Amino acid sequence: MRVLHISYGSPMIELSKALRSMGVQSTSCHFNEHPFKFKPDICLKLNLLPETERYTKIKQFLQESIQTYDIFHFHFGETFFPDKKDLEILKQAGKKMVVHHHGSDIRLLSVAKKNNPYVRVKPGWTEGKINNSLAVLSKYIDHAIVQDHELERYISDSYKYIHVIPHIIDHNELQPNYPKGKATPLIVHAPTKRDLKGTEFILEAVKQLKNSGVSLEFKLIEGMDHQETMKLLAKADIVIDQLRIGSYGYLSTEAMALGKPVICYIREDLIDKYPAKIPIVNANPDTITTVLGNLINTPNQWKSLGVKGRAYAKQHHSAQKVINQYIEVYKKL
């Protein structure tokens, strides 16, 4: 079983590593260098080539990949070419394919707003673009993977088979550093897109709490590579992820694995879809000031939440617990 993952992202890299630990010949490939300096197995560095040469490079890589791999695992709905014409080529070559959606590539605003008044979507991912992408992908691919039930709803009518499988982290690389309950906690927030994550509400909450006399240190992580971000998360006492989307993502899982209390918005209708006693402190744009203030004022809870978060991440996101679900999907292709 030889698997190629394209075309970007930390979850893709960790999944590929986990597959190799189970004896699967898996390779992760980024087409372009990533600003967060992720380290895939292969990087084509198309961003360094003149635009006229990029098509030739990717076409050559496609032909080489057809000779090398049995299964093509596409992430974020992207394939070799923007128009996805490679799907027909791969089908004619008898290759197996699966698509892995991670968020903005399928999040339909009209659907999300029915259960979430706070949600935002990336402007570039219009509903027309998403629907067109899904129509092409589902024409050639029967199996799709999403990480949670928030995402499942957006593609429920698109694919024959939908698999809800948690993303994978390497908890051995993320050693816990539990908060000590100090008088002035370090609170960290690391948004990729401020509007999508509700950063403005977090900044306002921090301002209001400071003005009311609450002692805290706040660090907004932006423009840093992944390694630098992890170092700051490891130093944090409290991590705030996102307040708009309604489910927790990769950053929350990394923070839990590091033993940190995590604040994130989980939609009420989705809470029972997760394993029982998920140790995330739930807050939305309307409640973040109160929730954050209460957590700061109860430092005796920090380590307890961190320990529970670490255990949760190991139980539900470690390779040993999750990877076989991905391998079973491959066997069904």
Q: What is the CATH number of the domain that holds 307?
A: 3.40.50.2000
Q: Is the pLDDT of residue 65 over 90?
A: yes
Tell me which residue has tokens 């029982």: 276
- Residue 141 maps to a domain: yes
Q: Which amino acid is at 314?
A: K
Q: Assign 3-state DSSP to the chain and report helix, strand, coil percentages, each to 5.
A: 45, 15, 40
Residues 253 and 326 in one domain: no
Residues 65 and 208 in one domain: no
Residues 159 and 18 in one domain: yes
Residues 189 and 172 sit within 8 Å (Cβ to Cβ): no
Residues 15 and 168 sit within 8 Å (Cβ to Cβ): yes
Q: Is the pLDDT of residue 239 over 90?
A: yes
- Residue 150 maps to a domain: yes
- Tokens standing for 290? 């109160």
What does the pLDDT look like over 76-128, one tens digit per residue?
A: 999 999 999 999 999 999 999 999 999 999 999 999 999 999 999 998 899 99
Average pLDDT over residues 284-312: 97
Helix (H, G, I), strand (E, B) or coil at 116: coil
Average pLDDT over residues 313-328: 95
First to last CA, the chain: 12
What does the pLDDT look like over 123-158, one tens digit per residue?
A: 889 999 999 999 999 999 999 999 999 999 999 999
Tell me which residue has tokens 């093509």: 72
Whole-angstrom distance, CA of residue 254 vs CA of residue 231:
11
Total tally of structural domains belonging to the chain: 2
Q: What is the pLDDT of residue 223?
A: 86
Residues 130 and 240 in one domain: no
Q: What is the pLDDT of residue 37?
A: 84
- Residue 77 maps to a domain: yes
Q: Is the pLDDT of residue 56 over 90?
A: yes
What does the pLDDT look like over 19-34, one tens digit per residue?
A: 999 999 999 999 999 8
Alpha helix ranges (H) inside the chain: 10-21, 51-68, 86-92, 109-112, 127-140, 149-152, 194-197, 199-211, 226-235, 250-257, 288-296, 302-317, 319-332
Q: What is the pLDDT of residue 226?
A: 85
Whole-angstrom distance, CA of residue 119 vs CA of residue 296:
26
Average pLDDT over residues 232-259: 96
What does the pLDDT look like over 170-212, one tens digit per residue?
A: 989 999 999 998 889 999 999 988 999 999 999 999 999 999 9
Residues 14 and 155 in one domain: yes
Q: What is the pLDDT of residue 35?
A: 81
Whole-angstrom distance, CA of residue 244 vs CA of residue 83:
31
Q: Domain of 109?
A: 2-168+320-332
Q: What is the pLDDT of residue 36?
A: 78
Q: Residue 301 — very low, low, confident or very high, per pLDDT cuts 50/70/90?
A: very high
Residues 69 and 191 in one domain: no
- Tokens standing for 188? 């960290």
Q: What is the pLDDT of residue 76?
A: 95
Q: What is the pLDDT of residue 81?
A: 96
Residues 57 and 101 in one domain: yes
Tell me which residue has tokens 């390497």: 170
CA distances from 291 to 45, 181, 202, 294, 318 (A): 43, 17, 11, 5, 29
